[in-house]
């Protein structure tokens, strides 16, 4: 039986899901890093003609270590998981006449691929959906600039779908998974020695000072998860993945883990708030590095909640959010 079509929405809209991308194999690591560091949203220092040579130098220096990290976790699952999300979202929006495709900022498929795909289907207006619940110029902003530039060149209009830091389809599944793990630890006799660490990718303080709303959005998500989880144990927020010599927003996850261990915490539940797909920052930074840090500090039970991925509630929530905006 064919699905009913909702004719209340204009037929010329299409949805472009935006994400940063990830190396698909070891050979892609250095070009990915070069593209990343060449973006003024990432390296905000005014470098002029030196930007590209510096990006190339930084990428060459960091590529070896990055390849080792990717190798330890069997490569990044970000592309495959993002494709699953986009496919699920396409299924959810197909009855409403909204085609969906993917554009990544630093790897293929990129904005050119997405716009070409949409033009083949007669789309004239693009709804840009950042797969980042919390808006930042370094993530949402970078992807939007690339898509708008290409779309404008081809005469297409682009509308940004607003951030969704409190989307129920994101908050409720994370809160339920968190609550389940805390209950399990309590049943094992750790009720008074359990804590929760909500994690988010960090950002340099100068970005926040310049008006980036990211940290405010992260705190919205953290507050919503805390409220929905209704657990009777400490719930802390920490920022991860700091690089370079500049000051980054804190507290850092490593410092939070050390403090919790000193206070007697022995059971820790870690919940990634800003990563909607598994990738290096979850599989390596949280599952290997932070876990080892926790164990060394005396925490004996470490549970990391999976990224939201293509959870049905998340996909349904995104579909509703898009339709409401259009």
Q: How would DSSP label each residue in 187-236? A: IIIIGGGEEEEEEEE--BHHHHHTT--HHHHHHHHHHHHHHHH--SS-EE
How far apart, in whole angstroms, are the C-alpha atoms of residue 255 and residue 86? 36
Cβ within 8 Å of residue 19, ≥6 positions away: 78, 82, 102, 104, 105, 130, 131, 132, 143, 277
Q: Which two tokens stand for residue 153?
A: 């060149």
What pLDDT is stored for residue 51 in this prediction? Answer: 67
Which runs of consecutive H residues, i.e. helices, occur in the chain?
A: 29-38, 51-72, 78-93, 111-120, 142-153, 168-185, 205-209, 214-229, 253-262, 280-283, 291-297, 312-325
* Full strand arrangement of the beta sheet holding 194-201: 235-240, 194-201, 267-272, 301-304
Distances from the Cα of 77 to the Cα of 43, 73, 82, 188, 304, angstroms: 25, 9, 8, 32, 17
User: Which stretches of the chain drop beneath a pLDDT of 70?
Assistant: 1-11, 39, 41-51, 244
What pLDDT is stored for residue 28 in this prediction? Answer: 74
> What is the CA angle 205-206-211, rounded to 5?
100
What pLDDT is stored for residue 277 in this prediction? Answer: 95
| Domain spanning 168-304, CATH architecture | 3-Layer(aba) Sandwich (3.40)
CATH fold for domain 13-164+312-325: Rossmann fold (3.40.50)
Single out the residue of 127, 81, 131 nearest to residue 105, CA to CA.
131
**Over the stretch 197-233, which tens digit does the pLDDT of each residue have?**
999 999 999 999 999 999 999 999 999 999 999 999 9
Q: Which two tokens stand for residue 215?
A: 């940290």
What pLDDT is stored for residue 55 in this prediction? Answer: 74
CB-based burial of residue 15 (10 Å sphere; 0-12 exposed, 13-18 middle, 19+ buried)?
Answer: buried
Q: Which two tokens stand for residue 163?
A: 């951030």
Sign of the CA dihedral running 134, 135, 139, 145 = positive
What pLDDT is stored for residue 47 in this prediction? Answer: 62
User: Which part of the chain is CATH 3.40.50.1400?
Assistant: 13-164+312-325, 168-304
What pLDDT is stored for residue 9 in this prediction? Answer: 46
Backbone φ, ψ for residue 184 (5° rounding): -65, -45
Q: Match 């039986």 to its residue by tokens.
A: 1
Q: Do 39 and 32 meet the contact criterion of CB atoms below 8 Å apart?
A: no
What pLDDT is stored for residue 67 in this prediction? Answer: 76
Q: Which two tokens stand for residue 204?
A: 């340099």
The neighbour count for residue 296, using CB atoms within 10 Å, is 11
């Amino acid at each position: 039986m064919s699905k009913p079509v909702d004719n209340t929405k204009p037929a010329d809209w299409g949805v472009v899901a935006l994400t940063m991308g990830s190396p698909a194999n070891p050979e892609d690591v250095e070009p990915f890093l070069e593209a990343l560091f060449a973006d003024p949203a990432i390296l905000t220092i005014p470098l002029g003609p030196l930007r590209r040579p510096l990006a190339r130098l930084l990428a060459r220096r960091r590529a070896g270590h990055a390849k080792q990290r990717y190798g330890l976790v069997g490569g990044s699952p970000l592309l495959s998981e993002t494709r699953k999300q986009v496919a699920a979202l396409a299924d959810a929006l197909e009855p409403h006449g909204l085609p969906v495709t993917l554009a990544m900022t630093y790897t293929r498929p990129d904005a050119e691929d997405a716009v070409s795909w949409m033009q083949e289907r007669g789309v004239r207006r693009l709804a840009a959906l950042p797969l980042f619940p919390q808006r930042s110029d370094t993530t949402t902003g970078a992807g939007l600039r690339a898509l708008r530039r290409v779309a404008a060149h081809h005469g297409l209009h682009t509308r940004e779908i607003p951030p969704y830091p409190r989307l129920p389809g994101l908050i409720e599944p994370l809160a339920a998974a968190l609550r389940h793990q805390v209950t399990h630890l309590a049943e094992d006799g750790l009720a008074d020695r359990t804590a929760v660490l909500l994690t988010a990718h960090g950002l340099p303080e100068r970005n926040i000072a310049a008006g980036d709303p990211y940290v405010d959005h992260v705190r919205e998500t953290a507050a919503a998860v805390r409220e929905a989880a209704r657990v009777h144990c400490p719930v802390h927020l920490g920022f991860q993945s700091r690089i370079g010599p500049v000051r980054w927003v804190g507290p850092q996850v490593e410092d939070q883990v050390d403090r919790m261990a000193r206070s007697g915490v022995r059971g820790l539940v870690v919940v990634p708030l800003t990563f909607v797909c598994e990738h290096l920052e979850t599989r390596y930074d949280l599952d290997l590095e932070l876990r080892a840090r926790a164990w060394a500090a005396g925490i004996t039970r470490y549970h990391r909640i999976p990224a939201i991925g293509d959870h049905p509630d998340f996909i349904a929530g995104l579909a509703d959010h898009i339709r409401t905006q259009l």
